[in-house]
Amino acid sequence: MTRRIERHRLHASTPGTTREVMVRHYGAAGARPKAYLQAALHADEIPAHLTVHHLARLLDEADGRGEIVGEIVLVPYANPIGLGQFVENHHHGRREISGGGNFNRNWPNLFEMLGDELDGKLTDSPAENVQIIRAAITAALEAETPDSELHSLRLILARLAADADLVFDLHCDDQALMHLFLIPDHWPLAHDIAAELGCRAVLLAEDSGGGSFDETFSTPWTYLAAKYPKHPIPAACLAGTVELRGQSDVEDDLAEADATALFRALQRHGVVAGNPGPLPEPQCEATRLDACEILRAPVPGVVAYAVALGAQVRAGDVVAWIVDPAAEDPSQAREAVRAGTDGLILSRRDRRYVLPGMSLAKVVGTKTLPARAGGFLLED
């Protein structure tokens, strides 16, 4: 057995208290390919925890059979800060309640951190350049000194993932179908991952604008390739955000199937030995994230959806009604929220009372939307 457990202590947030990140390692350190998987950076997105529970069992069994070819880093809970954020029995795991913001935004910009460190060091060999760049990224992260509990968490996770070939950040939405976020350079390379997971959407963006965890490790390679066009620099880290359906999709059968899909993806990418079997038929084509419409509430009120998850809508179709229960004239109490594009209803809101500007649904279209192009592409 190659499995080993490490525990990384965070900076103390208050005197006498500390938190830690537990990490499961498989395979020899430095073996290739290296895969990094973490669960629930948004700590209240629980499906990932159960999926990783089942994936750990599969990896333990593969390890016992001597089938771990590369190196695997598995983080069962990526956010011990958010795990403890309960206010009157309500879990608040998306943002740090002491003011640190969204846990999956504003991760280190590794491209900017490198600066001109690579000037004069790159070669004509793609493989050598990958090694040089990974060493520089690792050194830049090691040189950082954390100044808060949240900063220490970011550095721990970033250092674990920085030199990986594959990075899977496991999340979920409110109510949603399975989907995947990637940069365009990794499509169709990742088509097998999407097929294994049964994704109903694969959303592509060069940079979604939020500094998300996955793009911390995927986008530096494309920016470096543009900065140093005379040197071959591949997109050497296939990193993606996997959205494991919705908040309430926490069932053993779903989690075990998702863990099996991830395990087979590791086999297909050479991290684990063995035959993954025939690839399932893909359930979608990749589309651009700036073609995905985020419908928002125009007024406050109660949400009454007019369409189900997975429905195909046309531009102009009513997706939801916003109801004012105190309207003097009930016939005037409803305001329609209509799709602005043709597409698939990928997600819906779970909590049904909204204020203006709150997101209601995602409509996955195929045509770039002018209001979305070149801007901040995430929900919040």
DSSP 271: S
Residues 113, 237, single domain; the answer is yes
Residues 296, 280, single domain; the answer is no
| Tokens at 18, concatenated | 């500390």
Strand 166-173 relative to strand 238-246, pairing = parallel
Q: Can you name the residues that pair with 239 across neighbouring β-strands?
A: 167
The model's pTM is 0.97
Query: For residue 65, is pLDDT > 90?
Result: yes
Query: For residue 375, is pLDDT > 90?
Result: no
How far is residue 25's CA from residue 76's CA, in Å, rounded to a whole number? 11
**Residues in the chain, how many?**
380
How far is residue 331's CA from residue 377's CA, in Å, rounded to a whole number? 36
Contact call for residues 33 and 130 (beta carbons, < 8 A): no
Q: Tell me the per-residue pLDDT of 231-268, one tens digit each, with 9 for 90 and over.
A: 999 999 999 999 999 999 999 999 999 999 999 999 99
Q: Residue 131 falls within a domain, yes or no? A: yes
Residues 136, 180, single domain; the answer is yes
DSSP 3-state of 373: coil
Q: Residue 8 falls within a domain, yes or no? A: yes
C-alpha distance across the termini of the chain, in Å: 42
Q: Residue 280 falls within a domain, yes or no? A: yes
How far is residue 113's CA from residue 14's CA, in Å, rounded to a whole number? 29
CATH number of residue 196's parent domain: 3.40.630.10
Q: Closest Cα to residue 140, out of 166, 103, 108?
A: 108
Q: Residue 37 falls within a domain, yes or no? A: yes
Please tell me the predicted confidence (pLDDT) of residue 370: 94
Strand 86-87 relative to strand 90-91, pairing = antiparallel
Residue 3 CB neighbours (<10 A): 16
DSSP 3-state of 179: strand
Q: Residue 374 falls within a domain, yes or no? A: no
Angle between helices 149-161 and 213-227 (to 10 degrees): 60
Average pLDDT over residues 128-134: 98
Phi and psi angles of residue 337, each rounded to the nearest 5 degrees, phi first: -110, 115
Domain-ending residue, one of 266, 284, 302: 284
Phi and psi angles of residue 326, each rounded to the nearest 5 degrees, phi first: -100, 5
Query: For residue 13, is pLDDT > 90?
Result: no
Phi and psi angles of residue 301, each rounded to the nearest 5 degrees, phi first: 155, -165
- Largest distance between two CA atoms of the chain: 73
Helix (H) or strand (E) holding 216: helix 213-227
Q: Closest Cα to residue 83, out of 67, 96, 73?
A: 96
Helix (H) or strand (E) holding 349: none
How far is residue 248's CA from residue 173's CA, in Å, rounded to a whole number? 9
Q: How many domains does the chain have?
A: 2
Q: Residue 375 falls within a domain, yes or no? A: no
How far is residue 287's CA from residue 329's CA, in Å, rounded to a whole number? 43
At 15, the pLDDT band (50, 70, 90 cuts) reads very high
Residues 191, 322, single domain; the answer is no
Q: Residue 114 falls within a domain, yes or no? A: yes
DSSP 3-state of 316: coil
Structural domain harbouring 333: 290-364
Residues 297, 196, single domain; the answer is no
Domain-ending residue, one of 284, 318, 337: 284
Q: Tell me the per-residue pLDDT of 315-370, one tens digit each, with 9 for 90 and over.
A: 999 999 999 999 999 999 999 999 999 999 999 999 999 999 999 999 999 999 99
Domain-ending residue, one of 284, 301, 329: 284
Lowest pLDDT segment from 203-207, 241-245, 374-378: 374-378
How far is residue 260's CA from residue 257's CA, in Å, rounded to a whole number? 5
CA 208 to chain centre: 12
How far is residue 282's CA from residue 279's CA, in Å, rounded to a whole number? 8
Residues 165, 257, single domain; the answer is yes
Helix (H) or strand (E) holding 294: strand 292-296
Residues 141, 256, single domain; the answer is yes
> Per 3-state DSSP, what percentage of the chain is helix, strand, and coil (rounded to 5)?
30, 25, 45
Residues 138, 279, single domain; the answer is yes
Residues 184, 246, single domain; the answer is yes
Buried b (16+ CB within 10 A) or exposed e, 24-46: bbbbeeeeebbbbbbbbbbbbbb
At 374, the pLDDT band (50, 70, 90 cuts) reads confident
Residues 215, 300, single domain; the answer is no
CATH number of residue 355's parent domain: 2.40.50.100
Residues 268, 294, single domain; the answer is no
Please tell me the predicted confidence (pLDDT) of residue 170: 98
Q: Residue 370 falls within a domain, yes or no? A: no
Residues 168, 86, single domain; the answer is yes
Phi and psi angles of residue 191, each rounded to the nearest 5 degrees, phi first: -60, -30
Q: Tell me the per-residue pLDDT of 16-46, one tens digit each, with 9 for 90 and over.
A: 999 999 999 999 999 999 999 999 999 999 9
